[in-house]
Amino acid sequence: MDRQSQSFKNLHRTTQPKTTMLVVLVTLIAALLLAAPLLLRPYHSSSTHRHARNPSLVLPPHLIIKNACTNTLYPSLCFTTLLSPPPPSDNVTASLHYILELTINRTIKKVATTMLSVAGLFTGQDLNSQEKNALNDCTDMLEQTLYELRKAINDLRKFPSSRGSRHRLYGNIKTLLSAAMTNENTCIDGFSDLEECNFMGRKDLKENLQGLLTPISHMISNCLAMIKYMETINRKVTVIKNRPRLNNMPEDDFQNAWIMKSSDRKMREITHERRPNVVVAKDGSGKYHTIQEAVRMAPNRSSHRFVIRIKAGTYHENVVIPREKVNIVFVGEGMNSTVMTGSRNFVDGFSTFTSATLTVVGDKFIARDLTIKNTAGPQKHQAVALRVNSNAAFYRCNITSYQDTLYAHSLRQFYSECTIQGTVDFIFGNAAAVFQNCIILVRKPNPGQNNMITAQGRQDPNQDTGISLDNCTRLHGG
């Protein structure tokens, strides 16, 4: 079974008979008809109200809830989520925005309680090192989910400050929710990898995690369906005028890379010569000897680019760009000159998630003119060269390994004039990833293995994810 099918099977099991689900759904709708006045204050139509132009917002509260939930994949869960006691508020109006914010907030609470349950799996059980590693990955993924859901809330609260930017905010929220949902699937994938390699572990551990994570995945799925429904309503009732043109957008707006036309897609931020903030050099001619040391000293959550020039040389280190390191730029001296190399792999005890030579979590990361390599051979199975969980761009980079070379995990990613080398599923993940003018080099696999270039991991029809290869060249090499 391939990675995508296995992941979908893991998180989308249904055990209730259709008849039972129908009874539950009807009961919940009836309950909501009674509870809606308590859940939301009635909407007061006024020409001066900021939402008054949107006819979808003059519906009674119970109809707004019904419309929001019946457009989801898990309507009964949607209704039960909204039937929970609402948070106290003195100024709440019935709107789809409020329904979505309420659902995301309830999902955040669910994630927080699930983290405590996952932490409890570490105690009182005889776990081996690989199981502990997989559970640690789950903890990291749940923390990332909290971060992305909170960012989605922040974006949602920007409505409707500017009608012209609504389409961008809808896109941002869908991207964040898509990433948050991907995280839960990644947790289960870690245990699926153990099973596929005939690893003698505890199957009940995976089953427990599935029971904990499936409700979160379904709640996020409902949020995705709601934002899509909101987007559809907005399209029907609003003609967006004076959309911001690309040349009027701020130069530091990282979204330029994702909304440019294909023919104009260029990474303007990294094509200009910029003086580096620090220099890394193995020969001692720079401020730092290692790349990770330079990253560690970069400012946290910077609103400006922090440029790290990496001089020619081979750097044997596993580098992590953590969440708080935003706007980091790596500038090498050429693919064949600046080389980052590591050898972590699945056979030697690392999970796929933690095997990467370069891991990027910090947002708005850019790299150019360097090589990222995992030197573990094909016999070591999963050995990631680059994992990216952020909005990131790569220009003239060589990314090379065998199995699972490039883990385009989540969010938005752009690769221009890069070379990606590998054998099995060597471009995989669930990001919205664009590869333009790249060379895809297919290497010789192990005996009995079949080459597979991409393995896209979308789990939900409302996720805005996918892999796009634009004007790329496929070659076969050693």
Instruction: Verify that 91 and 225 share a domain, yes or no.
Output: yes
Instruction: Verify that 336 and 227 share a domain, yes or no.
Output: no
Q: Tell me the pLDDT tens digit for each residue of 375-429.
A: 999 999 999 999 999 999 999 999 999 999 999 999 999 999 999 999 989 999 9
CATH number at residue 102: 1.20.140.40
Instruction: Verify that 363 and 457 share a domain, yes or no.
Output: yes
Q: Tell me the pLDDT tens digit for each residue of 163-216.
A: 557 788 899 999 999 999 999 999 998 888 777 765 555 677 888 899 999 999
Instruction: Verify that 296 and 437 share a domain, yes or no.
Output: yes
Instruction: Verify that 298 and 208 share a domain, yes or no.
Output: no
Q: Tell me 382's DSSP state.
A: B
Structure tokens at 114: 């699930």
Alpha helices in 40-165 (DSSP H): 61-70, 75-83, 96-120, 129-156
Domain residues for the domain of 418 are: 264-476
Instruction: Verify that 230 and 330 share a domain, yes or no.
Output: no
Instruction: Verify that 308 and 353 share a domain, yes or no.
Output: yes
The CA-based angle 379-381-385, given to 5 degrees, is: 110
Q: In 10 A of CB 334, how many CB atoms?
A: 14
Structure tokens at 343: 């050898």
CATH number at residue 280: 2.160.20.10
Instruction: Verify that 226 and 346 share a domain, yes or no.
Output: no
Q: Which residues pair with 321 in a beta bridge?
A: 360
Candidates 100, 169, 181, 255; CA nearest to 462 is: 181
Q: Does residue 3 fall inside a structural domain? A: no
Instruction: Verify that 340 and 203 share a domain, yes or no.
Output: no
Residue 89 to residue 73: CA distance in whole angstroms: 29
Question: How far is the CA of 72 from the CAs of 43, 149, 180, 224, 307, in angstroms?
Answer: 23, 18, 17, 8, 44
Q: Does residue 421 fall inside a structural domain? A: yes
Instruction: Verify that 203 and 121 share a domain, yes or no.
Output: yes
Residue 244 to residue 373: CA distance in whole angstroms: 40
Number of domains in the chain: 2
Active site residues: 425
> Residues 268, 271, 273, 276: what is their CA dihedral angle, to the nearest 10 degrees?
90
Q: Does residue 1 fall inside a structural domain? A: no
pLDDT in tens, the chain (478 residues): 455 444 444 444 444 444 455 444 545 544 444 444 444 443 333 333 344 344 444 567 778 888 899 999 999 999 999 886 654 443 444 588 889 999 999 999 999 999 999 998 887 677 888 888 999 999 999 999 999 999 999 999 887 665 557 788 899 999 999 999 999 999 998 888 777 765 555 677 888 899 999 999 999 999 999 999 988 887 766 544 444 443 333 334 444 444 343 333 445 455 455 799 999 999 999 999 999 999 999 999 999 999 999 999 999 999 999 999 999 999 999 999 999 999 999 999 899 999 999 999 999 999 999 999 999 999 999 999 999 999 999 999 999 999 999 999 999 999 999 999 999 899 999 999 999 999 999 998 888 888 999 999 999 999 999 999 999 999 987 6
